[in-house]
């Protein structure tokens, strides 16, 4: 299983699957899944290739989820080797997507193959939900498959997303939830004028400053056992004509909430508007909601994968909800228990991305033990 995982990871890395293009990765997976009795459903949306594969028709359904697309390489001449030619150096497999997340995809497949070979009449069902639209705008990927499954009431009991979650050692971190993301584009209006005649103008930057200070200092919630308090941050702010003697007519700010399950979209929006209105601002505010938070408390799935990690690596994993968004936010809509667990994430999206060969040896064993724990009861 170890050598097969490494070989499969290499084959996937060799596919130039720059988001949103799959470029043959899913067909490699499909050819192996069909041999062990999976039914295959291709869900293509625009330029995006999605795959829903299932073995079995009964509950519980354990799904492995991931993506074949990768981020751009950056300057290729800054890499020590071609990012789409997998190379092993110093017990590390180098290539774009090695850690995020073609190594996990390979481990999914070899773990399932080994499990099915040992337990051909296993209980429950195994699913794979794979997309080529996770690293991009994520509008035609996992969310579309989830919509399809939801429409026919095909629900998932457990889901493992193969995102690279670990920090120092394989298995040290499981993501059992993620914060939601809510963005806003705020434009505060004033009156443009000559900077030497401020009484004839209204400076929107000055008008907005007290409200910005209050928004920056606000305590939106206290978080909870699994999540830190919600945060509000400005990412961009701009206004003016570029001249030093003109008071601008408006100022625009882009901001974002990373919020926990202790808040809702509606509560955050309402409070922002209350603050802006209290300061008497003339403003426009456009909201963009890109993902709600989700949380999987300790229970069957967390316990099963934690025990598998401990058995294989000898360490007890920590639970974390840190980091950005993932496709887990979509899957949580039809699955009550979603976790993310994959290799170390130190080099993801960087030059010379790699995964430890040792991690590719242990990761399929962790996935297989989790399958046995949840489907052989």
Query: DSSP state, 101?
Result: I
Residue where the block lists tokens 């300057």: 75
Provide the sign of the torsion angle of the four alpha carbons 17, 20, 23, 27, taken in this order.
positive
C-alpha angle 152/61/142, rounded to 5°? 60
User: What's the token pair of residue 127?
Assistant: 């699913």
- Residues 240 and 246: beta-carbon distance below 8 Å: yes
φ/ψ of 310, rounded to 5, equals -60, -40
Strands, DSSP E only, in the chain?
39-45, 48-55, 61-67, 87-89, 92-94, 125-131, 158-161, 173-175, 177-178, 180-189, 193-194, 231-239, 246-247, 250-259, 283-291, 294-295, 318-320, 337-340, 354-356
- For the purposes of burial, counting CB atoms within 10 Å of the CB of 68, is it exposed (0-12), middle (13-18) or buried (19 or more)? buried
- Residues 300 and 337: beta-carbon distance below 8 Å: yes
- Residues 149 and 50: beta-carbon distance below 8 Å: no
- By DSSP bridging, strand 39-45 and strand 48-55 are antiparallel
How far CA 114 is from CA of 5, 65, 111, 160, in Å, comes to 11, 18, 5, 17
- By DSSP bridging, strand 283-291 and strand 180-189 are antiparallel
User: What's the token pair of residue 15?
Assistant: 């596919």
- Positions annotated as catalytic residues are 69, 134
C-alpha angle 120/125/128, rounded to 5°? 105
Distance CA 366, CA 232 (A): 37
């Amino acid at each position: 299983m170890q050598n097969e995982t490494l070989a499969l990871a290499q084959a996937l890395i060799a596919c130039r699957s720059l988001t949103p293009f799959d470029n043959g990765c899913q067909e490699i997976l499909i050819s192996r899944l069909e041999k062990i009795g999976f039914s295959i459903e291709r869900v293509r949306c625009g330029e995006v290739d999605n795959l829903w594969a299932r073995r079995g028709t009964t509950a519980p359904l354990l799904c492995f989820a991931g993506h074949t697309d990768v981020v751009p390489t950056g300057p290729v001449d800054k890499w020590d080797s071609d990012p789409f030619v997998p190379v092993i150096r110093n017990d590390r497999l180098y290539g774009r997507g090695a850690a995020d997340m073609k190594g996990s995809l390979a481990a999914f497949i070899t773990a399932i193959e080994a499990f099915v070979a040992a337990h051909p009449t296993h209980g429950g069902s195994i699913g794979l939900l794979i997309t080529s639209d996770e690293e991009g705008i994520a509008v035609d990927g996992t969310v579309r498959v989830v919509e399809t499954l939801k429409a026919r009431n095909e629900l998932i009991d457990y889901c493992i997303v193969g995102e690279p979650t670990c920090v120092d050692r394989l298995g040290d971190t499981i993501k059992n939830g993620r914060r939601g993301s809510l963005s806003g584009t705020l434009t505060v209006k004033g009156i443009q004028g000559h900077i030497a005649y401020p009484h004839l103008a209204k400076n929107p930057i000055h008008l907005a400053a007290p409200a910005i200070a209050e928004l920056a200092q606000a305590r939106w919630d206290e978080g909870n056992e699994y999540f830190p308090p919600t945060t509000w941050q400005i990412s961009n702010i701009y206004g003016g004509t570029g001249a030093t003697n003109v008071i601008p007519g408006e100022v625009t700010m882009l901001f974002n909430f990373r919020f926990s399950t202790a808040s809702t979209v509606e509560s955050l929006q309402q409070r922002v508007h209350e603050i802006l209105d209290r300061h008497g601002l003339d403003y426009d505010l456009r909201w963009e909601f890109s993902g709600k938070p989700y949380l999987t408390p300790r229970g069957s799935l967390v316990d099963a994968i934690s025990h598998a990690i401990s058995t294989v690596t000898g360490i007890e994993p920590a639970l974390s909800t840190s980091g950005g968004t993932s496709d887990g936010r979509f899957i949580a809509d039809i699955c009550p228990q979603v976790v993310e667990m994959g290799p170390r994430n130190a080099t993801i999206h960087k030059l010379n991305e790699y995964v430890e060969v040792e991690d590719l040896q242990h990761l399929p064993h962790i996935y297989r033990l989790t399958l046995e724990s949840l489907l052989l009861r």
